[in-house]
A and B are shown apart, each in its own frame.
Chain A
Amino acid sequence: MRGLRRARTLVPVLVCVVAIGALLVGGLSRNVVYFRTVSEAVSSRPSDGSGRLRVAGAVVPGSVVSSGGETSFELTDGAATVRVHHHGDPPELFEDGAPVVSEGHWLGSEFDSDRLMIKHGSEYEPPAVTQGAAK
């Protein structure tokens, strides 16, 4: 009797725990965004597929083409260079040589970006700021 009563409380709890666990694993695996340098991103392109990632590098001087709310530029880390297409105007302080993090996904051999952040140098910087610069 006592066992039965105990089961009546435990079973719903267990069901909740299992359900939450399953949701979590699924949610986490779908929403991970990798952070890579340009050369890392290039070398892991086959495995990343069309998943979201952030690519860090510097803007190649003279490569920026901006028109009609679209910005296209080359991003380099010294070892590798990719062309980035960004949907939107560049943020303030976006310029030749600026340290940039671009978030998006691969589209063929070019990187399709919808979020552009200037990499900050100061010590304590909540990440929301970097997101803010792009939005």
Chain B
Amino acid sequence: MKSQLGSLAVAAGFAASVVGIAVLGVGLRRRDTRLLRLGGRFVPIVLVAALAAAGVMEWALVTHDFSLRYVAENGSRTTPLLYTVAGLWAALEGSILLWGLILSVHLTLLWAKHRRRIDDPLVGWAMLVGLAVAVFFFGLMLGPANPFHSLHGAVPADGRGPNPLLQNHPLMAVHPPMLYLGYVGFTVPFAFAIAALVTGRVGEGWLAETRRTTLLAWGFLTAGIVLGAWWSYEVLGWGGYFAWDPVENASLLPWLTATAFLHSLMVQERRGMLRVWNLSLLVATFSLTILGTFLTRSGVVASVHAFTRSSIGPALLGFLAVVSVVGVGLIAWRADRLASPSQISSPVSRDAAFLANNVVFGGLAFVVLLGTTFPLLAEAITGDQLSVGEPYFERMSAPLGIALLFLMAVAPNLPWRAAGRDVLRRRLARPAWFAAGTMLVLALAGATGVAQLAAFGLAAFALAAVVTQITTAVRARRHASVPRMGVVRAAVRTFTGNRRLYGGLVVHVGVVLVAVALAASQGYSTKREVSLARGESATVRGYRVTYLGTTARRTPQKTRIAATIDVHRGGARVATLRPALSIFPGATSAIGTPSVHTSPVRDVYLTLVSSPNEAGRITVGVFVNPMVMWLWLGGAVMVGGAVFAAWPDRRRARTRGPAAVGTPPAPAAPDRVLEGAPA
């Protein structure tokens, strides 16, 4: 019965999307407001259908209705409730259902915001494009990725349960939905970009409509990527957080182009430049989300020849081709209107820095895209199976990352159009000295590696520049107020007065933390495998690990072998860690669960490589990873900054108008006065 109910809901969503597109299309052609209003009303119907479908699926999962094939394959009676609910995104069909659900939420929010303006062709077309994407995903659920197939033959007493890796850590319940919220969110700006091209209104209007959605989608995607890295670190037990494997790269790629877009859209708003580029970035971002879905969900990564076994791969690839061709074709068709009214006037200006930022982000995206797809292309062409090693990604991305860090440190302090020498000196001299000092101190303290030192120096530069920028603005505001307001009040006023600027700077602080964490943990981590008998110890980088014993626990879900290991440093006990190995019935591999002692300076990360052998010895992987904690904190700060920037202004602030957007802070008051001011 649930199979029919679910299929009915999916079919209703599909039909509502198709009818909505038809009504909107006719309405746009006839410029008939009533038809457009009617067409728009199909959007919430699509949402209701998607909610119903997802609801039926969750109902089936929670009640263990194994007559549904998806439930039989991804649920089991022994799976804890959390992972049973998360079973919705444990496999292909459910993920597509989640895609469709989130897409209809985004579209409904779009409709709710703009429904009074639906006679505006830009809004009408954007809605139509959004529904067209919905048609594709609901179509997938009707055809090759039907989540509501019933099982042929007798209903089994129990299901197979989700992949062991997906039921090992609560992060699995959060990370995929975050990623999907980000991925799918880019449909809205993409729809507006296409609408702008179709209607020929390629000026700056469509940017303003989608700014907030783009920012939120970016925030969700950032959160998704960081949570994914965290999950990888806490669950996979190889001591790292990002292995450059295609699944991870798939989430990074649209993030890179979206980040580029968030910067270059400011150039377009401000100077009307980079129109073609911005439209291309949005088309690229959306295409990359489809490519990412294709890479992760079609089995193509395992082998090029695997993906044709189901029709989902070709369908996604076909959709990707349609999106790219339509996007590029429309941009070419509108080329005459896309000419920019102004030009970049000086290589030392904020405009030029944004352009450079975009070139580097574009280059980085290309590097990752090439490394990710090269094995697929090579296998398709020559038949050789190969993989691109991590050194390629690391060596290629490190210099580009450092270049981005440099731009991030300098660019927010550059004025638009052209920078005079004295402006540069006034704004950048102190951060530059701070950076040089930081590098000197670190080098004297024994920090090695050119890339690491460059990263630390630039991070210090960026941090100092942001702090200078904020303190200058807060002080200027205090001085301008009569009677003089307190520091906290002035800071709050400054921040809320220009959410985009200060939200952006907060994001930059997050990036600084992430950069420091990446440089330190990539450059200075230690890993060793030690073989220990009970009571034996080994010392790795000052940490003495002592093997105390093993416990085995058998549950219906899994057999879990955990080693108890004491960690001491300089005579003092640091922690007792219990790395474990889980063996799931029906799985061919053992899943390791690392045990991590986290501290601000460094993590001690233990994995159980093999359980006691005949001689009673275990093998333990010991990793000492510096500063990894700052990666998660930096990610949280980045997301916080994005949310702050996207938060709706109060009416009072809104009347300040677009001129306040992205403006550098008021020129600094003379330093003497500032230093004399009471703190």
Question: Could you list which residues of chain A lie within 8 angstroms of chain B, going by C-beta atoms?
Answer: 5-6, 8-9, 12-13, 16-17, 20, 23-24, 27-28, 30-36, 52, 54, 69, 88-94, 118, 120-129, 131-133, 135
Contact = CB atoms under 8 A, between A and B. Distances in A.
Nearest to B90: A124
Contacts of A93: 588-590
Contacts of A54: 387
A54 B66 CA distance: 40
Contacts of A9: 343-344, 347, 352, 355
Q: Is the interface of B mostly helix, strand, loop or mixed?
A: mixed
Nearest to A117: B589
Nearest to B370: A24
Contacts of A24: 366-367, 370, 396
Interface string B220-255: 000000000000100011110001011110000000
10 contacts: A17-B363, A28-B388, A31-B395, A88-B529, A89-B610, A91-B590, A122-B588, A131-B238, A133-B592, A135-B239
Nearest to B165: A129
Contact of B347 (A12, A52, A90, A126): A12
B363 A16 contact: yes
Contacts of A8: 347
Contacts of A122: 163-164, 587-589
A35 B386 contact: yes
A41 to B, nearest CB: 12
A132 B190 CA distance: 37
A33 B360 CA distance: 27
A34 B385 contact: yes
B25 to A, nearest CB: 39
B389 A123 contact: no
Interface string B238-279: 110001011110000000000000000000000000000000
A23 B590 contact: no
A104 to B, nearest CB: 12
A123 B163 contact: yes
B468 interface: no
Q: Top 5 A-B pairs ranked by shortest CB distance?
A: A132-B238, A31-B392, A35-B385, A128-B243, A121-B588
A17 to B, nearest CB: 8
Interface of B: 91, 163-165, 232, 236-239, 243, 245-248, 301-302, 343-344, 347, 352, 355-356, 359-360, 363, 366-367, 370-371, 374, 384-389, 391-392, 395-396, 399-400, 527, 529, 531, 581, 587-590, 592, 607-611, 619, 621
B609 A92 contact: yes
B589 A27 contact: no
Given A27-B396, A31-B389, A128 B238 contact: yes
Contact of B247 (A121, A126, A132): A126
Nearest to A135: B238
Contacts of B356: 12
Contacts of A35: 385-387
A33 B385 CA distance: 9
Contacts of B363: 16-17, 20
Given A13-B359, A34-B384, A128 B589 contact: no
A128 B249 CA distance: 12
A92 B238 contact: no
A16 B362 CA distance: 11
Given A9-B352, A132-B236, 8 more contacts: A6-B343, A20-B366, A31-B395, A33-B389, A35-B386, A89-B529, A120-B588, A123-B163
Contacts of B91: 123-124
Contact of B621 (A52, A127, A131, A135): A135
B392 A5 contact: no
Nearest to B400: A20
A16 B404 CA distance: 13
Query: Which one of A16, A89, A118 has the greatest number of beta carbons of chain B within 10 Å?
Result: A89
A37 to B, nearest CB: 9
Query: Which one of B232, B302, B371, B389 has the greatest number of beta carbons of chain A within 10 Å?
Result: B389
B580 to A, nearest CB: 11
Contacts of A94: 610
